[in-house]
Amino acid sequence: MVAPPDNDVLWARALHFRHDDGSPGLSGVSLGVAEGEILAVGGPRGSGKTTLLRCLSGLVPVADGEVWFNSVPVHTMRTAARERLRRERFGWIDPVPVLVPELNVWENAALPLMLRGVARRPARATALEWLERLDVGDKARKRPGDLVHAERQRVCIARALAPAPSVLFADEPTAPLHRADRRHVLRTLTTAARSHGITVLLATSDADTAALADRTVSLLDGRRVRTVHLPPVPGTAETEDRAACSLSV
C-alpha cells in the first residue's frame, strides 16, 4: 500500500464499487483532491457521482480500491472509525433537504456543532450566522415543516458549513432551488468554502454549477472520462453528439 501525495487531502486509487444487488457503481476511478480545492464531479444522471461521493466520504465501505484522507487510509477503517471521521471532519449535503422535524431551524443547523462537543450557546451563535448568510436567519425559530422546500435546503447548506468541515461533500446541493436562487446560493457556498479553506466535492450534472469549481472530473457509467469538445463543422448545424464526446482516462 503506497501512501498518496502529501498535497492531496483526499485521494482515491482504482476504486471499484458494486451495489448490494450486484449492479456496477464504479469501475476503477482514481483521483486526487488538493486541500481547499473545489472539485466538481460531473456526468449525466446515473453516471456514478453519488456513489463516488459516498465511497470517498466513507459512507459505504470500499472493498476494492483505496481511499485516503490526509494520508490516512479510509478503506481499511472499521465502521466506528469511519463514522467518527464523517462526524468530526466531513460535511454532507443531499439533493433533498432532510431535517429533524422536532427541532427548530437553528437547532437543526447547530446539530453537527453540538455533536462535536460545542456548547449550546456558541453553537447557536454560529448556526445563526450561517442561517443569515443563507438568507434564512428570520426562520431560525420555526420548525422545518413551516418552511418551503427551497428554504429547508438552505438550512441544510448552513448546517453543513457551520462546523467548517475539512471536506464538504455536496451532492447536487442546489437541485431543489429555483434557477434564479441557485447561483446566489452556490456563490455563498463556494465563497464560504474558499474563505474557510474547506475542500469541496460538488456532484452536479449542470455545466453552470461546475463552472464555479476549480476543476471538473467527469464520470460516465462509473468510469472517469475526459470530455473533448469538437470544433463545429462549418456550414452544418452542430448537434450535441457532434459537439462533445467522452474518452475513458
Residues that bind ligand ATP (CB under 6 A): 19-21, 23, 25, 43, 45-51, 205
CA geometry: angle at 118 spanning 117 and 124, to 5°?
Answer: 140
* Min separation Cβ 24 and ligand ATP, Å: 7
CA torsion through residues 93, 94, 96, 99, sign? negative
Nearer to ligand ATP, 30 or 104 (CB): 30
The cell numbers describing 151, all together, are 428554504
* Min separation Cβ 124 and ligand ATP, Å: 34
* Min separation Cβ 222 and ligand ATP, Å: 6
The cell numbers describing 91, all together, are 460535511
- List, in order, residues 6 or more apart from 150 with CB less than 8 Å away: 176, 177, 178, 181
Between CA 172 and CA 158 the distance in angstroms is 15
- List, in order, residues 6 or more apart from 190 with CB less than 8 Å away: 38, 200, 212, 213
Residue 95: how many other CB atoms lie within 10 Å: 16
Comparing C-alpha atoms, which of 72, 71, 52 is closest to residue 62? Answer: 52
* Min separation Cβ 71 and ligand ATP, Å: 27
Nearer to ligand ATP, 52 or 99 (CB): 52
* Min separation Cβ 145 and ligand ATP, Å: 26
Q: Are 140 and 128 in contact (CB under 8 A)?
A: yes
- The helix-helix angle for 149-161 and 179-196 (nearest 10°) equals 10
* Min separation Cβ 45 and ligand ATP, Å: 4
Nearer to ligand ATP, 47 or 246 (CB): 47
Nearer to ligand ATP, 27 or 188 (CB): 27
Nearer to ligand ATP, 46 or 232 (CB): 46
Nearer to ligand ATP, 23 or 236 (CB): 23
